[in-house]
Amino acid sequence: MSWSLITSDYVVSAFSPGLAADYQQWLASNPDKAGRLGEIASMVVGEFRAALASNPETVMDTTEGTLPPSCLRHASNIIIFQLKGEMDQTLTEAENAAAIRADVFLRGIWMESIPAGSAAVTQTPSYAGPHEFQEFAQ
């Protein structure tokens, strides 16, 4: 499983066109915030990596700043949530719901109920045919 490097550019590529324009305007109005998105991304990725590393089943990518595919959307949502808060923008109902789901997902990794980076995630599910459950049907 190939992990992806989460950078400011990666996060900006996930922005809606409206958020991208608002972000550029915010940077123009606040030049001292130029590196803030990178700081937020680094903090969130660090939290995800710490959660992943806490599970002994996780097969970690040793490259700092990377996350497994299962974490990318959730990490991006948390980063966007944090950034919009700093930009004093109101979250839409959908953005708020996505941020809540992302937080629940991250908590699940910490609690080891979501094996986001484990080798088991790459395995395919198996199907037990109905003949294997006949004793329960009687």
pLDDT of residue 57 exceeding 90, the answer is no
Provide the residue range defining the domain that includes 55: 4-137
Contact 55/119 with Cβ under 8 angstroms?
no
Q: Which segments of 30-130 does DSSP mark as H helices, in order?
A: 36-53, 69-86, 93-110
Tell me which of 116 and 124 has the higher pLDDT: 116
Q: What single-letter DSSP state applies at residue 54?
A: T
The number of domains in the chain is 1
pLDDT of residue 125 exceeding 80, the answer is no
The rounded mean pLDDT for the chain is: 85
The residue written with tokens 């997902």 in the block is: 105
pLDDT of residue 127 exceeding 70, the answer is no
Give the C-alpha separation, 39 to 46, whole Å. Answer: 10
What does the pLDDT read at residue 122? 44
DSSP, collapsed to helix, strand or coil, labels residue 53 as helix
Give the C-alpha separation, 45 to 47, whole Å. Answer: 5
Read off the pLDDT of each residue in 20-48 and give the average, rounded to a whole number: 97
Read off the pLDDT of each residue in 92-110 and give the average, rounded to a whole number: 92
How would you write 56-68 as a 3-class SS string?
Answer: CCECCCCCCCEEC
Single pTM value for the model: 0.81
Q: pLDDT-derived band of residue 112, with 50, 70 and 90 as boundaries?
A: confident
What does the pLDDT read at residue 121? 45
